[in-house]
Amino acid sequence: MLDPAGSSRARRRGLMLVLSSPSGAGKTSISRRVLELEPEVTMSVSVTTRPRRPGEREGIDYHFVDEARFRAMVEAGELLEHALVYGHHYGTPRAAVEAALAQGRDVLFDIDWQGAQQLRERAADDVVGVFILAPSLEVLAERLRSRAQDSEEVVRYRLARVASDVTHWAEYEYVIINEELEASVAAVRAILAAERLKRRRQPYLSEFVQRFRVEPAAASGGG
């Protein structure tokens, strides 16, 4: 990507793209597809005390830690945000995110509303929030059961939390009703494109615009 000043990479600070939703609304599927299509986006890999699910990989899906290690990370200030979700602790390692933003890379977060609130408190200018909704409670329940990753007891617990979780939709800049995956992915990519073009994320613009502030004679080559 060429910036107006002619460098090989836009001289901008990256942004934090936060996707939140009730469990089962599809944010993880959307996240994975966006990562496939957007080379400048990297995934924030959370730490969690939750047991590993079938197919999940250490360091790729999550960093799996025990309660003692998680508490130590919190006390040392190593996490940008952390929350207790469905009985397990989740958190975002600070160092990797800050390095990516400084390099002009966007970081995608698949976190709940509690984590999103903490990120806004710590880095409001960098955060872009998108809340994902399922088309209906019935569709949400079907998705939770069809993925066969949790027991029926856990599914019922997650469904009971939906009414509370969805009350936070108004805290986000954007809301997507996930009726069809590719349409939702396209909407997220449109949000990304618009947010990258905001003035505050293009610090080179002031210098670039100054190049047009020349005398008419100089611009025409006249003497």
Query: What radius of gyration, in Å, describes the C-alpha atoms of the chain?
Result: 21
User: How far are the Cα atoms of 13, 146, 221 from residue 132, in angstroms, in the given order?
Assistant: 25, 19, 55
Query: 37 with 189: CB under 8 angstroms?
Result: yes
At residue 2, the pLDDT reads 38
At residue 221, the pLDDT reads 64
Question: Architecture of domain 16-44+105-210 in CATH?
Answer: 3-Layer(aba) Sandwich (3.40)
Q: Is residue 15 classed as helix, strand or coil in its secondary structure?
A: coil
pLDDT tens-digit series, residues 144-174 = 767 656 666 767 767 767 777 888 999 999 9
At residue 138, the pLDDT reads 80
At residue 195, the pLDDT reads 96
pLDDT tens-digit series, residues 79-102 = 999 988 878 999 999 998 999 998
Q: What is the pTM of this model?
A: 0.78
Q: Which residue has the higher pLDDT, 217 or 64?
A: 64
